[in-house]
Amino acid sequence: MCSQILLKLKLNKNIQSTAKKVLTQEAEAILQVSAAINSEFEACVEHLLASPGRIVFTGIGKSALIAQKIVATLNSTGSPALFMHAADAIHGDLGMIQRGDSVICISKSGDTPEIKVLVPLIKRLGVSLIAMVSNKQSYLALQSDFVLHAQADEEADLLNLAPTTSTTVALALGDALAVCLLECKGFTSQDFAKYHPGGALGKRLYLKVADIYPQHEFPCILPQASIQDAIHEISSKRLGATTVMNEKQELLGIITDGDVRRMLEKQQDWANIQIVQMMNSNPKTISSEAFATEALAIMQEKNITQLVVLENEKAVGFIHLHDLLREGIV
């Protein structure tokens, strides 16, 4: 029994050691590539910025998978890109390349048979060729207009065979390329929202208060209303508060369910209490054109759950914390 426990502890120690070794080796490889970023990388970015066409990524095996991820990142950050599998390219997919495009080929060795067949076909199309390669003396690198040096001397596995360090380095270099392009283009969070309209992330970037508040009825009472009227309005509209408006539809204040509870605790005879005595005459408001994230920030800062929505300085509704929870903003 003791020997089994010792063996398990030894195995666990080996597993942890291996995991740390892999992560350290890949991190060091990325730092090595970072230190080698030079004017050629800068010239490549400038070329892509000036090119009228798309960025076409190609590769074989695991490099093809990395290429697809980089394409997705570029498309989502305002740099039109597409993926062409190196093996399919010679069977018709070369037709997706148009004049003005730039082709980035990912290959660790730069000397695989598929790449050697593909390179002259790409160059015959008259488009620029960019190599993302570990071996700068490879066939691919020597035939390319630009070389993005994704140096990976060793893979992370003991056999030095499984694409691990090399694919991590290529992926990180692709991210660096995408971020450089988006910063040079002045890509903003609003631009990002255009390409990410779905999900909580997209909503945080584009959803406005005006998109939310019309979902509710607008609770409103006059200043001469009774406490019972206020309670009924708060309960029936289910927003935890009601506005107090005069005949000119001007906002005088709000009454929350908390205001009602505090009043009941302090007063035994509350039938004759006037609305203006218990309302908050300086309620927190927000413009209907503000982003929902701004509403959330105010609620968090003020520790409140609702805001009065204004349009052209007129109160038109409420936005509630529950609305933001439902939309996935929180």
Residue appearing with tokens 């039938």:
271
85 is in an annotated binding site: yes
Write the single-letter amino acid at 310: L
Give the global pTM: 0.70
Q: What is the DSSP secondary structure assignment for residue 280, as one 8-state letter? A: B
Q: 262 is written with which tokens?
A: 């505090």
pLDDT value at residue 329: 79
Do 148 and 173 touch, CB atoms closer than 8 A? yes
Residue 73, number of CB atoms within 10 A of its CB: 19
Q: 3-state class of 321 per DSSP? A: helix
Question: What CATH number matches the domain at 209-326, 3.40.630.30, 3.30.70.100, 3.40.190.290, 3.10.580.10?
Answer: 3.10.580.10
Architecture in CATH for domain 18-187: 3-Layer(aba) Sandwich (3.40)
Backbone angles phi, psi at 286, to 5 degrees: -150, 145
Taking CA atoms, 309 is separated from 36, 218, 238, in Å, by 53, 10, 16
pLDDT value at residue 273: 79
Write the single-letter amino acid at 285: T
Chain Cα centroid distance, residue 64: 23
Write the single-letter amino acid at 166: S
Non-local CB neighbours of 198 within 8 Å, separated by 6+ positions: none
The residue ranges of every structural domain in the chain are 18-187, 209-326
pLDDT value at residue 123: 94
pLDDT value at residue 11: 57
pLDDT, one tens digit per residue, over 252-304 is 999 998 888 888 787 766 667 788 888 999 999 999 999 998 999 999 999 99
Q: 3-state class of 123 per DSSP? A: helix
Residue appearing with tokens 């002045």:
186
Domain 209-326 in the same topology as domain 18-187 = no
Write the single-letter amino acid at 187: F
- Give the pairing of strands 220-221 and 128-133: unpaired
pLDDT value at residue 4: 58
81 exposure class (CB count in 10 Å sphere: 0-12, 13-18, 19+): buried
Residues in the chain, pLDDT under 50:
6
pLDDT value at residue 209: 95
